């Protein structure tokens, strides 16, 4: 039995789309459909059900999914071990992240990881907390950054605190605006069109010319890196988790020295 069929089925379930799975794996849609159909014929079970909103995993598929996921993980770990024997650690990590972290600490964090593991590819998906949580549950990502406390579905390791700060323009604000976009908000404040309160991570890159003030009553969020509970992370995921812990710890140590 070809491992490619297992991977095609797993990615279809994780993405909820044969088309998306085909795009990610570099196959045609018909090729992925054929691989899943072959599995159904070989096992004499229905793996997917189709409805007006798309496809869903069948009850038989739910029974088989943990075993298929474990086989694929073992295959990926085997490939990584073989690559290590050749002196090249290679593979793919699928990561979920929310915006304020993705535009502040994450780029340097990934750059540092890439310097150590240049042949590990990162597939980054950005979204809100609820989207990252859903991706983790489905297996669409290997790990993701979330605010703590997170769902009991996840094993979450705390990595940093992010405080709230007031941001003000360098000139006196004349107009007030209401927006749901973080970046629109920062641009408005920079232009002197109001003031706001944001998470400090949003202003870390220093791209906006705004003044900051601490709040009288300190408010913060704790951020963690999460994996799905009950599933052993792949070797590559474990390497990245340790890198995140070490990287954020070094930031805390450097801050403490100042």
Burial of 228 (0-12, 13-18, 19+ CB in 10 A): buried
Residues 6 or more apart in contact with residue 258 via CB below 8 angstroms: none
pLDDT tens per residue across span 124-159: 999 999 999 999 998 889 999 999 999 999 999 999
Rounded CA Rg of the chain: 22
Tokens 């739910």 locate to 62
Report how far residue 16's alpha carbon sits from residue 11's, in angstroms, rounded to the nearest whole number: 8
pLDDT category of residue 30 using cuts at 50, 70 and 90: very high
pLDDT category of residue 53 using cuts at 50, 70 and 90: confident
pLDDT tens per residue across span 201-225: 877 766 777 877 788 888 889 999 9
Please provide the DSSP assignment of 140-198 as one string: SSSEEEEEES--TTEEEEEEEEEEEEEEE-SS--------S-HHHHHHHHHTTS--EEE
pLDDT category of residue 257 using cuts at 50, 70 and 90: low
Report how far residue 9's alpha carbon sits from residue 33's, in angstroms, rounded to the nearest whole number: 9
Phi, psi dihedrals of residue 225, rounded to the nearest 5°: -110, 130
List C-alpha distances in Å: 207 to 103, 176, 178: 10, 22, 21
């Amino acid at each position: 039995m070809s491992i490619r069929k297992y991977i095609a089925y797993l990615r279809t379930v994780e993405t909820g789309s044969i088309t998306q799975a085909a795009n990610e794996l570099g196959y045609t849609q018909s090729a992925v459909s054929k691989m899943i159909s072959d599995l159904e014929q070989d096992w004499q079970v229905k793996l997917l059900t189709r409805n007006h909103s798309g496809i869903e995993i069948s009850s038989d598929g739910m029974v088989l999914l943990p075993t298929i996921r474990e086989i694929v993980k073992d295959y990926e770990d085997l490939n990584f071990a073989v690559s290590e024997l050749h002196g090249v650690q290679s593979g793919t990590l699928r990561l979920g992240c929310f915006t304020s972290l993705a535009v502040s600490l994450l780029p340097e964090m990934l750059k540092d990881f890439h310097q150590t593991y240049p042949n590990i590819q990162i597939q980054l998906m950005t979204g809100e907390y609820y989207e990252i949580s859903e991706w983790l549950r489905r297996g669409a990502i290997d790990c993701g950054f979330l605010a703590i406390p997170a769902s009991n579905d996840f094993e979450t390791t705390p990595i940093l605190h992010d405080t709230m700060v007031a941001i003000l323009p360098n000139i006196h604000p004349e107009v007030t605006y209401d927006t749901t976009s973080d970046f629109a908000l920062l641009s408005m404040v920079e232009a002197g069109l109001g003031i706001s309160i944001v998470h400090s991570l949003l202003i870390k890159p220093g791209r906006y010319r705004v003044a900051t003030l601490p709040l009288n009553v300190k408010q913060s969020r704790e951020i963690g890196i999460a994996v799905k509970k009950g599933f052993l992370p792949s070797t590559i995921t474990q390497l990245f988790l340790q890198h995140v812990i070490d990287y954020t710890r070094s930031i805390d140590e450097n801050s403490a020295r100042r």
